[in-house]
């Protein structure tokens, strides 16, 4: 995994394998159809600024885990609890997932941050949603050096 696309694909693979998540989307959250109730609980990945240094690329993402809240708000605490735990599962699988007999992770060519900052949100979109946003940084080795750069 040495490219932006490979990192995004790995997030998708981990989220697709999670038994409590029904969908994964990527990109601008306001371009995603949030009206289909069958898509929830949903994971959505948003790219943030990246860093290039002499040896590595550091990609930063916001990962949103969200679910529907009942119209009367009665299950909001449950939704926040469940989505936080799902976010923790995805992070831990991405960080440590090669230890299983049939790992979802297919590469260790990256380093993921030792911790992530998490922020809850409620009623942020057109339907009643709640969940958590985790900011995750992934460092991958640059595939180019002075010997193989295309310049």
- Span 132-140, average pLDDT: 95
pLDDT digits (tens, 9 = 90+) for 11-35: 999 999 999 999 999 999 888 888 8
What H or E segment, with its residue span, contains residue 15? helix 4-17
Q: Quick one: pLDDT at residue 99?
A: 47
Q: Rounded CA gap, 135 and 119, in Å?
A: 9
**According to the model, what pLDDT value does residue 100 have?**
53
Element (H, E) at 87: helix 76-96
**pTM for the structure as a whole:** 0.88
Distance CA 14, CA 103 (A): 10
54 pLDDT more than 80: yes
Interval 58-114: pLDDT, tens: 999 999 999 999 988 899 999 999 999 999 999 998 888 754 545 555 556 788 888
């Amino acid at each position: 995994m040495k490219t932006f696309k490979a990192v995004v694909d790995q997030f998708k693979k981990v989220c697709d394998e999670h038994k409590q998540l029904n969908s994964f989307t990527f990109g601008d959250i306001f371009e995603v159809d949030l009206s289909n109730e069958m898509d929830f609980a949903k994971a959505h990945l948003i790219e943030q600024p990246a860093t290039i240094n002499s040896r590595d690329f550091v990609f930063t993402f916001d990962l949103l885990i969200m679910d529907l809240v009942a119209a009367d708000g009665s299950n909001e605490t449950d939704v926040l609890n469940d989505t936080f735990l799902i976010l923790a599962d995805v992070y831990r699988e991405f960080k440590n997932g090669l230890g299983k007999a049939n790992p979802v992770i297919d590469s260790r060519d990256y380093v993921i941050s030792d911790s992530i900052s998490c922020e809850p949100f409620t009623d942020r979109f057109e339907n009643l949603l709640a969940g958590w946003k985790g900011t995750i940084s992934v460092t991958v080795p640059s595939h180019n050096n002075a010997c193989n750069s295309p310049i």
